[in-house]
Amino acid sequence: MREVYLDHAATTPPYPEVLKALQESYATIYGNASSLHATGQKARRALEKAREDIAKLIDAEPEEVYITSGGTESDNIALFGTEALYPGQPMITSLIEHEAVLESAKALESKGHPVRFLPVDTNGVVDLNALKAYLEEKPFLVSVMAANNEIGTVQPVKEIAKLAHERGALVHTDAVQAVGKIPINVRELGVDMLSASAHKFYGPKGIGFFYLRKGVKVLPIVQGGGHERGLRSGTENVPGAIAMALALKISTRLFTRTHYRYERWTAQILSKCGEIGGFRLNGHPQQRVPGLLSLSFKRINGEALMELLDMNGVAVSTASACQSHSAKRGYSHVIQSLGIDEEYANGTIRVSLGVENVQEEVDFFCEILKKCVLQLRGYRNGQ
């Protein structure tokens, strides 16, 4: 059976060049970057080169980039690494964050930090008036994601950072769904901290980075040998860092070409949805990550649609990958926050295109999607 992978917001297949770099570096740059002998120093140089490359791609200084195990760890460093410095002070985040931020924020709440959750409009954009009001409470931190993992809405991070800084708060952005997909420039955004994860931009899993603006103080959340300038102890994953830097370089180079393709395919998919009828596209119509589509179909169940598509060889998801094994409702907290009609919300799937997709796969998906939605509606109506 044909297999069409359209779940790139969950994870991406590494670029062939990345796999090659990973294999080669595991074989030849196996030293411990903290060892003082030549083998160790070779690994150190490779690690620092990867750090420099990553820094350049996001307009940071190399010493502002810390290698971590991925998005979840970077998000945890941002919240738990700062909270102890501001005991009892509130923090602000949004209702539609990834669990890595949401659950961390809830944990901070239990440690005595009041947490304010920003609502979003029907397009999933955070409410800046609510932000202004909550900023009056003198929070120590504002953490708002750069792009949402379920609906693709890109947040006005630059504006958020400006408002937060005027009130003396630190600013963190979970940019896991933005880095490698849209241009990200930390200086322009004006954030103090940023999280990224390599497996979302065709790099390996289990590696990511944390940007920390020079001069901003963050405490380590794990204790150990003081690697990564004391912020992130643990023997450095040098091959992973090399592969991540390469993946980011390639993704950045491919922006224009992939965006053009994704736009064309998005129009094709939406036109097919129009043919099917009774659907809505969630998220902001323009301010969105290219290629990530959250589609809600009236009168069907999103999970049933996802399963039927899977049986037909097409991989999509209902919510974020992390939620699919713990979904408590028929739909996610993100979809719920948009305030859309339940008869649509229940029938939501996320389709996320990737660089390896080809026209025939999109054609195939469109046909199968129509067949599956109509089949589910037919069953429902007892036809």
Ligand X SMILES: Cc1ncc(COP(=O)(O)O)c(C=O)c1O
- Rounded to a whole number of angstroms, the minimum distance from the CB of residue 196 to ligand X is 8
Scan for tokens 């909270």, then name that residue: 83
Q: How far apart are CA 382 and CA 347, in angstroms?
A: 18
Scan for tokens 């990224």, then name that residue: 196
Contact 265, 272 (CB under 8 A): no
If the CB atoms of residues 98 and 249 are measured against ligand X, the closer one turns out to be: 98
Active-site residue, selected from the candidate residues 273, 322, 366, 372? 322
- Rounded to a whole number of angstroms, the minimum distance from the CB of residue 152 to ligand X is 11
If the CB atoms of residues 291 and 308 are measured against ligand X, the closer one turns out to be: 291
If the CB atoms of residues 89 and 282 are measured against ligand X, the closer one turns out to be: 282
Contact 206, 185 (CB under 8 A): no
Q: How far apart are CA 315 and CA 79, in angstroms?
A: 33
- Rounded to a whole number of angstroms, the minimum distance from the CB of residue 145 to ligand X is 6
Q: How far apart are CA 3 and CA 324, in angstroms?
A: 20
- Rounded to a whole number of angstroms, the minimum distance from the CB of residue 241 to ligand X is 14
If the CB atoms of residues 96 and 231 are measured against ligand X, the closer one turns out to be: 96
Q: Specify whether 366 is catalytic.
A: no
Contact 242, 50 (CB under 8 A): yes
- Rounded to a whole number of angstroms, the minimum distance from the CB of residue 81 to ligand X is 16
Q: Counting beta carbons within 10 angstroms of the beta carbon of residue 205, is it exposed (0 to 12), middle (13 to 18) or buried (19 or more)?
A: middle
Q: Are strands 314-315 and 348-352 parallel, antiparallel or unpaired?
A: unpaired
In this chain, which residue has its C-beta nearest to ligand X? 71
Footprint of ligand X (CB under 6 A): 70-72, 75, 98, 100, 145, 149, 174, 176-177, 197, 208, 320-322
If the CB atoms of residues 93 and 149 are measured against ligand X, the closer one turns out to be: 149
In this structure, what token pair is assigned to residue 189?
Answer: 């955004």
Contact 158, 190 (CB under 8 A): yes
Catalytic residue list: 322
